[in-house]
Amino acid sequence: MKILIATTNKGKLREFKSLLSQINIETLSLDNMKEKIEVEEDGKTFLENAIKKAKEYASFYNIPVIAEDAGLEVEALNNYPGVYSARFYDIDFGGKEEIVTNKDEANIKKLLRLLEGKNNRKARFVSTVVFYSQKDFGLWTEGYCYGEIAKEPRGNKGFGYDPIFIPEGYNKTMAEISPEEKNRISHRGKAVRKLMEKLKKVL
């Protein structure tokens, strides 16, 4: 069975392929597809965005799809960046941040700036994963990873906000732990494992 992983994020794709290698399916990425489409993530929740991506890609490519929307919620910032996590640097909340090297670094710089002087640095990663077949059949799961925001970036093993997120029970950031350990504790790892259990029952 072939399933399309609907992401262009190479870090996410590596994690999905590693997690899904435990079940007998062939995973394709958007890079494998000759024709390209853009799906705008304009939903108000992670679930809305993930469902929209899964349905539109499944319909266009006529193949079952796994799509995800994920992000970071910071308690002291009213759960921002949330669904805006990938483009936090460019939204009006807290002022925009200039891209000097890349978007990840701009997002981190803005987040740390907004948390200056705040004692509450509690945060959580959220992952909502949707499986959708063009036969109008779908499943979804959610995973969380709780922790706090570091004072400065540390590590180079992750992507996104990993260099400033310290998971509960750790003194290292997500970007300082191994990919295997990250998959074990991460929001994405938890959501994908729940999805695999559901898929095993229905496929």
| Active-site residue list | 69
Which DSSP string corresponds to 160-190?
Answer: TTGGGEEETT-SS-GGGS-HHHHHHHSHHHH
Q: Any residues with CB less than 8 A from the CB of 47 and at least 6 apart, and which?
A: 69, 128, 130, 140, 142
d(C-alpha 144, C-alpha 127), whole Å: 7
CA atoms of 138 and 51, how far apart (whole Å): 9
Sheet-wide strand order for 2-5: 26-29, 2-5, 65-74, 122-133, 137-149, 165-167
Give which of 169, 164, 160 is closest to 188, Cα–Cα.
160
